[in-house]
Structure 1
Amino acid sequence: MRQRESVVFTIFFPLILLMIFGSVFKNTIAPGVTFSQYFVAGMIASGLVNSGFQQLAIVIPLERDFGSLKRLRGTPMPVASYFIGKALLVIASMTAQIVLLLGFGVAFFGLNLPTSAGKWFTFLWLTLLGTATATVLGIAFSIVPKSGRGASAIVSPIVIILQFFSGVFFVFTQLPSWMQHVAAIFPLKWLTQGMRSVFLPDSFTSQEVAHSWENGRTCAVLVAWLVVGLIFAIKKFRWSN
Structure 2
Amino acid sequence: MTKIAIAHDWLTNMGGAEKVIINFKQIYKDAPVYTISYNQDNLDDELKNIDVRTSFIQNFPKGNVKHQMYLPFMPTAWEQFDFNEYDVVLSSSSSCAKGLITSPDTVHICYCHSPMRYAWEFYNEYMEREGGGKLKRTLIKYIMNYIRIWDKASASRPDYYIANSKNVAKRIYKHYGIEADVIHPPVKGSYFNISDVDEDYFLMVSRLVPYKKVDLAVEVFNELGLPLVVIGGGKQLEYLKSIAKP
TM-score tier, shorter chain, comes to under 0.3
Flag the structure with larger Rg. 2
Relative to its length, the structure with more helix (as a share) is: 1
Structure 1 length-normalised TM: 0.28
Whose strand proportion is higher, 1 or 2? 2
Q: Which structure is higher in RCO with an 8 Å CA cutoff and minimum separation 6?
A: 1
